[in-house]
Amino acid sequence: MLLCLALRAEAQDAPHEPVTGLFPAIGIHYGSPLRASAALGMLVDRVDKGNDGFIAMLEIGQQGFGANAGYFHLFGSFGSGYSLRAAILRTGDEPWTAAEHTTYVGVQVHGMLIFGVGGRVGFMRRISHADNTQHDTIVPVGLSIGY
């Protein structure tokens, strides 16, 4: 009789629907090729999947601007995690390790150790015309706080 009551109670549970949340994302970065930069974007968190989801960011720096989008995953509640993103970048007058006034596309990996502090590294290929053939590919690296 007790077994039947337990089955009946379980059958009355409401169906579980995927839960998503929309959250702002901010970041401050320092590294190549933009030097100092600030990023602003959105996280679409799939709460039912364990703090992972979609991230999209716009970034403005001293020597250019860019945009990126991809997947993120957070571990626990201390701001550690990683993201994998597709990125596009346009350089300005004096970028570090990149051609001036050039557009690049590629991928980035962003890791956060604790409280959002971490770094990022990427691989990008030039897609616009440049006066010289240097910097056809770049490996942007940097330190970051936030996303």
Q: What percent of the chain has pLDDT over 90?
A: 63
| Residue 7 confidence (pLDDT) | 46
Give the residue extent of every domain in the chain. Answer: 19-146
What's the pLDDT at 133?
67
pLDDT over 60 at 15, yes or no? no
Sign of the dihedral defined by the CA atoms of residues 30, 31, 34, 39, in that order: negative
Give the pLDDT confidence score for residue 1 in this predicted structure. Answer: 42
- Whole-model pTM: value is 0.83
CA pseudo-torsion sign 72, 95, 141, 62:
negative
| pLDDT tens string 35-73 | 999 999 999 987 676 688 999 999 999 999 999 999 999
Q: How many CB atoms lie within 10 A of CB 140?
A: 24
Instruction: Report how far residue 127's alpha carbon sits from residue 120's, in angstroms, rounded to the nearest whole number.
Output: 22
